[in-house]
Structures are given as structure tokens and as C-alpha cells.
Amino acid sequence: MITKKNPVNENDPSIQIEQNIKITKDEFEALSKSSVDVIHKLRFEYPYQGRTAEIDVFMDKLNGLVLVDVEFENKSQLSGFKIPDFCLAEVTNEHYLAGGVLCKETILSLNSKLDGYNYKKLCLK
């Protein structure tokens, strides 16, 4: 499956239209051989406050980065949500962590962008 997310408002990445497209095994194999930038990650689902937190553990060039994604039906649910204790910072509005941008990054190139969170030593090698 391919997922495409488009922000409704360019200045607010917290609201997106998400499209899922089923692909065949042959289509997957053809895409995996293309020369586009690719992100390798493991995704784990974790139940949290009646929702599913999707925990992405990045590998290869982004090894050391872990992001948690929780989806909401509306802005009210988002604003009332408290991040889990195992999350170090809320980064919804950080455009450089979106998949289309993140695929061009490396863990080293993220160093300066993560400096402001004062936790990079915990998650970066």
C-alpha cells in the first residue's frame, strides 16, 4: 500500500488528507527498484488512550530517529491530546520531519534542526 498525505493548509501540517492506494507485489517490486529517495523504517502500533500510536523506528541513513504518529478526527481531539510519557517532544509542526522532506535527510543532517529540543543525545548516535 502507498500512502499519500497532503496538508489541507500549507501552514498547518496537523490537518491532512490521506489517500491509501493498494498496489500489487509486482508494482511494489518495480517501485523498490526505482532511483527515488527511500526511507527504511519499522512501524509498531501501540494502543494509547483509546487510539493507536504508530511508532516509526528509522533505519539506515536515519538510524536513531524515532517518531510517533497519532491521528485524530478533528482539531478538538488534537488539542485535548497529551503526548505519551515516552515521547520527548511534540513535533507536529516541524515540516522537515514530514516523509517527503525527511527522505532527503540523514541523521547527521538533522542534528542542527534537533538542537533546540535538548534531547538529541538521547536519540542520536
Domain for residue 98, yes or no? yes
Domain for residue 96, yes or no? yes
Domain for residue 11, yes or no? no
Domain for residue 68, yes or no? yes
Residue length, the chain?
125
Domain for residue 32, yes or no? no
Domain for residue 53, yes or no? yes
What pTM does this model have? 0.72
Helix (H, G, I), strand (E, B) or coil at 37: coil
Domain for residue 102, yes or no? yes
Task: Please say if the pLDDT value at position 96 is more than 90.
Answer: no
Residue 118: how many CA atoms within 13 Å on its side-chain side? 0
Nearest to residue 97, comparing CAs of 80, 82, 114? 114
pLDDT, tens digit, 9 for 90 and up, residues 55-83: 999 999 999 888 888 888 888 888 888 88
Please name the residues in contact with 52: beta carbons below 8 A apart, sequence gap of 6 or more.
Answer: 45, 46, 70, 71
Task: Please say if the pLDDT value at position 52 is more than 60.
Answer: yes
Sheet bearing 66-69, strands edge to edge: 41-48, 51-58, 66-69
Mean pLDDT for the chain? 81
Task: Please say if the pLDDT value at position 123 is more than 70.
Answer: no
| Structural domain range at position 110 | 38-123
Q: How many domains, the chain?
A: 1
